[in-house]
Structure formats: C-alpha cells, structure tokens
Amino acid sequence: MPELPEVETIRLSFLRDGPHGKPLPGRIITHAQVLWERTLEEPDVDTFTRRIQGQAIQGIERRGKFLIFRLSQDVLLVHLRMSGDLIVEPDSAPMAKHHRLLLEFQDGQRLAFNDTRKFGRVWLVDDPERVVGSLGPEPLDPAFTAGDLYRGLQNHRRQLKPLLMDQSFLAGLGNIYTDEALHGSRLHPLLLSNEVTQDETVNLHDAIRNTLLKGIQQNGASIDWVYRGGGFQEYFKVYGRTGQLCFECGTPIERILVGQRATHFCPNCQRL
C-alpha cells in the first residue's frame, strides 16, 4: 500500500502529540513480541527480542518507503510493503487479527505492526546502510535536481514507469504516485527513458515533487480497506479512474498493464 507520502504521514504523526499521546521519541522499549516470524528479516527472533529490550527511541527518519527508528544502540527499519501499518495502542488492547510484531513501551502503550498480507518487513541492525544503501535519490531532497533525473534517464533504455518505480533509481514512488506524476508531466508510461527530452525531464521532475508534496499535504491516500485518514484519493487524476474522463481534455482514462502493474493514463494528454 504505502508509498512515500503515506510513510511520511505516519512518521510525522509519530513525532507529534496525537491520539497515541506523546511523540514516540523518548519512549523506552521494555519488551518485544514477534507474532509472525517472517516479518522479521533480521536478526533472528531471540537476538531481536533480547537486543531491542531497554532501548529508547531517539528519532524517526524516512528513506524512500522505509521508516527508520533511531534507537539508543541500534537502528530499527520498517517497510510496510502492500498492507502494513503501524499502530500505537494500549498494551491491554485486544490483539488485532493481523498484528505481526509488537514493541511494548514503559508507559503502558505498544507499537503494533499490523500487516494483513504479511509482505512487510522489519530489520534491527547497527548500520542502516546495509538495508537502504542501494536506494536511489530521495525525490524531495533539494539536492535532487532535474539534471540528476535527466542523467539517470539517459543512463537507461527502459520504459518510464517501471524505471521510476525502481527503488534503486528513485526512492519512494509506487504505483499510484507514478501514474499521477506521469500524467502531471504528460508523459506516456511506456516512453523509453533515454528518449525523454531535457524540457520533458524538467516537467517530470516538477510533477514528481508536486505529486508527492500534495500527497503529504493530504496525509496520504486512503483506498480500499486500508484507511488511515488521508485524502489524496480525492485528487487522483488517473489512478483508478479507468473509463472516466480526463479532467484536462475529456478523453476516457485508459488502463493497461505495464511491468505486471495496472497503469492508468490519458491516451490524449500522454502520447508516445
């Protein structure tokens, strides 16, 4: 499910006072429970529960779609994949059906990793670079320029959409935001990357950033049964709008398969 804006929304919520009470930084982990072993990528369950016990959360960062919890000694990384969510609740709350991993705090609350489809992963490591080291640039980093994007596109001869979704090329875009950004820049998802012009790249760079910023501003998107309060779905221009009319030109939005993923675009605005 979540792409960069949804992950960022979760991160920001944990840094503020909220329904969960005080921010997560400052809390001390007293106990961990792994309910579905494959959720824990590394280390093994025994090492994980022993090692994380007593560590405090000192900060929360994000890299692409990864949440990065800085602990007193180690670093905890979480990837929500398709259906993962992080919930702060009382230790006494009834165990929800799809809870996969729990971190209990000294203050009587716990952080629950809930993940229906079990694709999500958690790491506890001393060096996060081992996990996120191969990610591409951070699209909202001011240091990431249209020139960088242009050089990247020229380095490959790949269909634009799968390349933009390749996390080692650019970190954070998923199926929704890629379709929206391509529409925003009027580029066809199957256009070959090294055929994108410099001017088009400037538009694409703008569209990627604006789409992600709009998503964050709306607290992400809430679709299907995964609802966490975001409103970006109200601003979709192509995603999930198959057969509905393009807001720009009135042409029906088409849905095709690209790299095994549903892809939505306007055949008039986005021509090959």
Partner DNA sequence: ACGAGCGCCTGTCGGC
Partner DNA sequence: TGCCGACAGGCGCTCG
Q: Which residues are catalytic?
A: 2-3, 65, 261
On whether the CB atoms of residues 32 and 103 are closer than 8 A, the answer is: yes
Distance CA 25, CA 2 (A): 22
CB nearer to DNA: give 28 or 226. 226
- Does 222 contact DNA by CB under 7 A? yes
Contact 218, 229 (CB under 8 A): no
Q: Which helix (H) or strand (E) holds 198?
A: helix 198-217
Binding string to DNA for residues 88 to 117, with x set by CB under 7 A, is what? ---------xx-----------------xx
- Contact partners, residue 244, CB within 8 Å, separation at least 6: 252, 253
CA separation for the pair 191, 203 (Å, rounded): 15
Q: Does 261 bind DNA (CB under 7 A)?
A: yes
- Minimum CB separation of residue 213 from DNA in Å reads 15
Neighbours of 57 (CB within 10 A): 21
| Residue 262 sits in the site that holds DNA (CB under 7 A) | yes
Q: Helix (H) and strand (E) counts for the chain?
A: 7, 11
Should residue 154 be labelled a site residue for DNA when binding is judged by CB under 7 A?
A: no
By CB under 7 A, which span of 43-51, 139-147, 206-214, 226-234 interacts with DNA? Answer: 226-234
Candidate list 82, 125, 146, 213; residue touching DNA; CB under 7 A: 82
Q: Does position 176 bind DNA by CB under 7 A?
A: yes
Positions touching DNA (CB under 7 A) are 1-3, 6, 38, 64-65, 79, 81-82, 97-98, 116-119, 156-159, 162-163, 165, 167, 174-176, 220-227, 230, 258-262
